[in-house]
Structure 1
Amino acid sequence: MAKEIERKFIIDKNIWQPTGKTLPIRQGYLSTDPERTIRVRIAGEDAFLTIKSKGTGISRDEYEYKIPYSDAGNLLQLVAYPPIVKTRYKIVFEGKLWDVDVFSGENEGLILAEVELDSEDEVITLPKWVKYEVTNDARFFNSYLTAHPYKRWEENS
C-alpha cells in the first residue's frame, strides 16, 4: 500500500503555457463511492487499475496495479459514465514534479495541476500559473467530474 499525499490547484489559463512532456490519458471509474474509488486508466501505452480510499486531509491510501492494455479497454466499457479524457503535462518546478491536466470532451475548459508531497506539512512554492487551491473541493475530483462534467456546471454556462 502506498500513501498518496497530494494537493490540487486550478490553473490560470492566461499565464500557463503548455510545456514539458505530454501523456494522453483516458480513465473511467468502476466505483465512485465516496469511501473508495476504483479507477481504470489508459495512459499512453500503459494501463492501470487503481483503488483509492477516502481521503483525510490531503492524504489517502492508494493501490495501483499495471494491467494489460486490452483488459483496461474492456473494463472502460463497463464504467457507468463516459471516460474522462485529458492530456497530462509533466513539469518540474522548484524540485517538485507537477502534473498539469488539460481536460477535453465534456470537461473541456478545465485545467488542473497536482503535486505529490513527501509529507502533509511539506511547504512548497507555487508556480505563478497557479490560480487557487481546490484540494478539498470534491467537485474537482476526477471521480466527480466523470458524472458531473465541467461543461455542465451552471457557472461555466
Structure 2
Amino acid sequence: MGIEIERKFLVDKEKWGQVTKEKQSLYRQGYIVSDPEKTIRVRLTDKEAFLTIKGLSVGISRAEFEYPIPVDDAQQLLDGFCDSVVSKIRYFITHDNKLWEVDEFLGDNEGLMVAEIELESEEETFSLPDWVGKEVTSEKRYSNSNLARRPYKSWG
C-alpha cells in the first residue's frame, strides 16, 4: 500500500508571475467515486493516464494506489463514468531540492491556484518559496474532488 503525505497552500499570484516555470502539463481528472472515506479518480495528462484510489485522510496522510492505464481508456472513463471533472495546468517547480506541483485551475475553477508538496513523513521540514501563501491542507473545499463538485466560482 502506498501512502500519500501532502500539504497544500494557496499561491500568491503576483509573486508567481515572476517565477520561471520549468515544466507544465495539462491535466483533466474526473471522479468515479468521491466521498470522505474513499476516492477513485481517472487522470489524463498530455501524454499519459492513471487510475488512482485514495483512502480516508488521517492528518496529512492517506492510503494511495495509482496505476497507469491506456490513454483511450482514460478518455472513455472520463466521458462515460465521471460525473464531475476538473481541468488544470500543473506546473512542476523545484525549490530547495523539493518538488512543488502548482495547479492553475481552468473552467469553473478559474482564478484558483494551489501549490502542493509531497513529503516523506508528516514531521518533515521544508522551506516555503516566497510565492506560497496560506496553508489550506485541512480545508476540504480545496480538494480536487470537492472542486469538481463545488467549483471555485460558486463559493461566492
> Would the TM-score normalized by the shorter structure come out above 0.5?
yes
Residue 79 (structure 1) aligns with: 82
* Residue identity opposite 1:130 in structure 2: V
Deviation of the 1:131 alpha carbon: 1.0
Task: Give 3-state SS (helix, strand or coil) of 1:51's partner.
Answer: strand
Deviation of the 1:14 alpha carbon: 1.3
Deviation of the 1:80 alpha carbon: 1.4
Residue 34 (structure 2) aligns with: 32
Unaligned segments of structure 2, at least 5 residues: none
In structure 2, distance between residues paired with 1:92 and 1:47: 23
Unaligned segments of structure 1, at least 5 residues: none
Per the normalisation by structure 2, the TM-score is 0.96
In structure 2, distance between residues paired with 1:43 and 1:86: 10
Once the two structures are superposed, what CA deviation does each residue of 1:12-56 show, in whole Å capped at 9, x if it has no partner? 111112511001100000011110000000011100000000110
Task: Give 3-state SS (helix, strand or coil) of 2:149's partner.
Answer: coil
* Residue identity opposite 1:88 in structure 2: R
RMSD of aligned residue pairs (Cα, Å): 0.8
* Residue identity opposite 2:43 in structure 1: R
Shift >2 Å, 4+ stretches: none
Task: Give 3-state SS (helix, strand or coil) of 2:150's partner.
Answer: coil
Residue 119 (structure 2) aligns with: 117
- 1:10-89 alignment to 2 at 5 Å? 10-17=10-17, 19-77=21-79, 78-81=81-84, 83-89=85-91
State percent identity of aligned pairs. 52
Aligned length: 153
